[in-house]
């Protein structure tokens, strides 16, 4: 029996916070796999997601952005999660930078890490859809270090196709495994995710809505926990979840006058969850104060 060969590879996405790694991955795969917001600490742990086309299979590892100065315990933990991902067996590195932000100590730290990884590397300069401000000259020297450089818009998918084509050229060719690269359990999943379960994914969607809808009002010492997902006989998914925050004053803000804010957050989260799973969803969402949630859950 002849074994067919296909391109297969693991790709590490690395960069400082908010350069657009999660936006790149979501738009490439065509569904939400990583939550996004304009603030740091959005991605808190590495997310592995599957991308497939006629050329082969790529497993992307989307790492949390590396903080130059991790002063609080959550930032330190996020950095640790990223450093652990660096020890994965990978075939290629995508180092993403944002030309609309100045190079600084944080960027220098990430570049130093990338230089130590002995794998093929691609420099991706993101957000070319934002012409101003630009600090592109500050990144020009990097073109001498990286054989492959792509200027893209992760948001608009500009120049992403040639980038993917180059990735497939660089990753190894392997024998196609019987049954594909996914386990039987992963094949049952709704999302192209390889390393997080449905409770974590739903919690991430809720957390995203908190960040997007509360703006500057709520500090990033807020998280979401899903305690229960039950499939009812009528086909509805019942989800019991909590938003945790560190202080009662933030709890009041999250609940809002006469519970309006928590209803609004819950409504937006429920609609997105229902769209993802293709079923009606009942979301029981409450807010609790827990000053120690970072130690308990991270």
As annotated, the binding site for GTP includes 15-22, 62-66, 126-129
Tell me the sheet residues that pair with 93: 12, 121
Return phi, psi of residue 127, to 5°: 70, 40
CB 67 within 8 A of CB 106: yes
DSSP 68: S
What's the residue count for the chain? 298
Tell me the sheet residues that pair with 15: none
Distance (Å, whole) CA 181 – CA 187: 10
In the β-sheet with 237-245, what is the strand arrangement from edge to edge? 222-231, 237-245, 281-289
Q: Shortest CA distance to 62 belongs to which of 122, 117, 21, 4? A: 21
**Other beta carbons less than 10 A from residue 228's beta carbon:** 10
Known binding-site residues equal 15-22, 62-66, 126-129
Structure tokens at 291: 């000053």
Query: What distance lies between CA 250 and its chain's CA centroid?
Result: 25
Distance (Å, whole) CA 293 – CA 290: 6
Distance (Å, whole) CA 15 – CA 120: 16
């Amino acid at each position: 029996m002849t074994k067919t060969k296909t391109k297969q590879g693991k790709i590490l996405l690395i960069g400082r916070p908010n350069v657009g790694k999660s936006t790149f991955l979501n738009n490439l795969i065509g569904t939400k796999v990583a939550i996004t917001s304009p603030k740091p600490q959005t991605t808190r742990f590495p997310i592995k997601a599957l991308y497939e086309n006629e050329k082969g299979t790529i497993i992307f590892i989307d790492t949390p952005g590396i903080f130059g100065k991790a002063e609080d315990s959550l930032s330190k933990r996020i950095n640790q999660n990223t450093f652990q991902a660096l020890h994965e067996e990978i075939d290629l590195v995508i180092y993403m930078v944002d030309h609309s932000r100045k190079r600084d100590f944080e960027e220098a730290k990430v570049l130093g890490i990338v230089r130590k990884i002995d794998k093929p590397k691609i420099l991706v300069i993101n957000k070319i859809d934002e012409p101003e401000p630009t600090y592109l000259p500050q990144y020009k020297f990097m073109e001498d270090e990286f054989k492959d450089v792509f200027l893209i818009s992760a948001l608009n998918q500009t120049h992403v196709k040639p980038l993917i084509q180059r990735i497939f050229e660089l990753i190894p060719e392997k024998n196609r495994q019987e049954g594909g690269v996914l386990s039987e359990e992963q094949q049952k999943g709704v999302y192209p995710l390889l390393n997080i379960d449905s409770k974590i994914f739903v919690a991430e969607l809720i957390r995203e809505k908190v960040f997007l809808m509360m703006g500057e009002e709520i500090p990033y010492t807020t998280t979401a926990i899903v305690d229960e997902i039950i499939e009812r006989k009528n086909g509805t998914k019942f989800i019991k979840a909590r938003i945790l925050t560190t202080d009662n004053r933030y709890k009041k803000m999250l609940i809002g006058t006469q519970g309006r804010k928590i209803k609004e957050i819950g409504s937006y989260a429920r609609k997105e969850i229902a769209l993802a799973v293709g079923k009606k969803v009942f979301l029981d969402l409450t807010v609790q104060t827990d000053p120690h949630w970072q130690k308990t859950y991270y």
